[in-house]
Amino acid sequence: MGQFDKNSELMDHFLHPRNVGKLDNPDAIGKVGNITCGDIMEIYLKVENNIIKNIKFQTFGCAAAIASTSVLTELVKGKTLEEALKISSKRIREILGEMPPHKYHCTVLAEQALKDAIENYQKKSEKK
């Protein structure tokens, strides 16, 4: 783990991830994986009046992936779906601090997992 600053947000979110776990009866689930590294992320959403009321995640992956999903959940909780969709992997990286470029894809995976969950929610709502 020598490539990360021990006092960075990244290490803090990796060692103390926020909003870990599953939600009972989620309104939507997002699931993505990276075929190159094999890491998998799942995001669970509770949505009320277009607002993300609760969010939890399970990340089976590297430190940067766990920290990225943790930061993402804090960023989007309480936001509208449209606001949440605007949060990019770049924003996650700004918060996490410096990381080697070959870890950028870990932050992209978090963005994709959220998008997948929101798309899943929107498809379900269209059917109702």
Could you tell me the smallest distance in angstroms from the CB atom of residue 102 to ligand FES?
8
Q: Point out which span in 17-25, 44-52, 60-68, 116-124 binds ligand FES (CB under 6 A).
A: 60-68
Q: Point out which span in 4-12, 31-39, 49-57, 118-126 binds ligand FES (CB under 6 A).
A: 31-39
Q: Which of 55, 109, 114, 118 binds ligand FES (CB under 6 A)?
A: 109
User: Could you confirm whether 62 is annotated as catalytic?
Assistant: no
Q: Please calculate the CA angle 17-92-22 and round it to the nearest 5 degrees.
A: 40
Amino acid at 24: D
Q: Point out which span in 44-52, 57-65, 80-88, 92-100 binds ligand FES (CB under 6 A).
A: 57-65
DSSP-derived 3-state class of residue 60: strand
Q: Is 86 exposed, middle or buried (0-12, 13-18, 19+ CB in 10 A)?
A: exposed
> In Å, how far from its chain's centre is CA 108?
9
Could you tell me the smallest distance in angstroms from the CB atom of residue 21 to ligand FES?
19
Interface mask toward ligand FES for 62-101; x: CB under 6 A? x-xx------------------------------------
DSSP string, 43-82: EEEEEETTEEEEEEEEEES-HHHHHHHHHHHHHHTT-BHH
Q: Are 63 and 10 in contact (CB under 8 A)?
A: yes
One of 37, 90, 122, 123 is an active-site residue; which one?
A: 37
DSSP-derived 3-state class of residue 62: coil
Question: Which residues of this chain interact with ligand FES, rule CB under 6 A?
Answer: 34, 37, 39, 61-62, 64-65, 106, 109
